Amino acid sequence: MNNRYELNKNLAQMLKGGVIMDVTTPEQAKIAEEAGACAVMALERIPADIRAVGGVSRMSDPKMIRGIQEAVSIPVMAKVRIGHFVEAQVLEALEIDYIDESEVLSPADDMHHINKRKFSVPFVCGAKDLGEALRRVNEGASMIRTKGEPGTGDVVQAVRHIRLINKQIRMIQNMREDELFVAAKDMQVPYSLIEFVHENGKLPVVNFAAGGVATPADASLMMQLGAEGVFVGSGIFKSGNPEKRAQAIVKAVTNFNDAKLLAELSEDLGDAMVGINEAEIELLMAERGI
């Protein structure tokens, strides 16, 4: 009687109001757990370093992922390349808690995403707009995150993506029923998903913010714009004081509307990650896999 897809959407519900942190070692995973991360993303190189090193980036070494699974009791996620369903099979064999089919890694397929309906483990995917989000849901994703621009410490793209997704949701919600058919056609998504958004005014799955979040105020900004939780990648372990920053971001997500508390949390955090401006980067990861 188990409905795996329901159970997988349910796990994302349990992560809401939380912060998911990128970690590259069991030691970092422990720091993240102790700082209050609700899950960790195990990967060999954080996005800022992937950007710096260049070349092809792939799924992490299973041994490294297992080391992190053993180190913490919170859910462990890991990334696969877009379209690389065999990397996903490997992660499923490791009993990973969530797979991120991620534009941060080099895409393995420039046409097709993974058929995520074939898997028992859950998937989270990135999206820049409502059409992308619903296409991923149709393929079987049970959680969505904004793409943002990973490894930059620049929040502008994540803001653009969450605003656009929510604006398009409001637009669909306000349409006449007979206008939904064209909306489904224009967005290249099934009518049933457009109908769900029209009736419920939200995505059928949990939606987190990701890509460029570096400060407690960034995290709070994403929450106030309607994200249900936050992924922080390079922002923590590329900063001067990872433990303190991680804890501050966790508290900022819980009390995202309390400016007084945010002021306290933003004090003395040490250097934020240096960051690269959107206009200075050559590779826009968000353009991968639409």
Partner 1 sequence: MAKTIGVLAVQGAFIEHIHALRQLGVNTFEIRQKSDLEKNSPDGIILPGGESTVMGKLLHELDLFIPLKDRIASGMPIFGTCAGVILLAKEIDNDPTTYFSAMDIAVERNAYGRQLGSFQAYEEFSDLGKVPMTFIRAPKITKVFGDTEILSTVNNDIVAARQNNMLATTFHPELSDNPVIHKYFLDTFL
- Footprint on this chain of partner 1 (rule: CB under 8 A): 1-3, 6-8, 10-11, 13-18, 33-34, 36-39, 69, 73-76, 95-98, 120-122, 247, 250-251, 253-255, 258, 261
| Bridge partner residues of 127 (DSSP) | 146
Buried b (16+ CB within 10 A) or exposed e, 234-245: bbbbbbeebebb
Specify which residues 267 forms β-bridges with: none
- Here the tokens at position 1 are 């009687």
Q: Which is nearer to partner 1, 195 or 258 (CB)?
A: 258
Active site residue 79: yes
In the complex, least distance from residue 244 CB atom to partner 1, rounded to whole angstroms: 12
Min dist CB 170 to partner 1, Å, is 19
- Give the 3-state secondary structure of residue 267: coil
Rg (CA), the chain: 18
Find out whether 184 and 79 touch, Cβ atoms under 8 Å: no
Tokens of 282: 């050559």
Helix axes 62-71, 26-35, angle to 10 degrees: 40
The least CB distance from residue 242 to partner 1, in Å, is 16
The first and second tokens of residue 195, run together, are 């109908």
> Which of 16, 30, 63, 79 is labelled catalytic?
79
CB 88 within 8 A of CB 99: yes
Q: Which is closer to partner 1, CB of 182 or CB of 263? A: 263
Given the complex with partner 1, which of 223 and 273 has the nearer CB atom? 223
Is the Cβ of residue 85 or residue 98 nearer to partner 1 in the bound state? 98
Smallest gap from residue 202 Cβ to partner 1 (A): 11
Cite the active site residues. 79
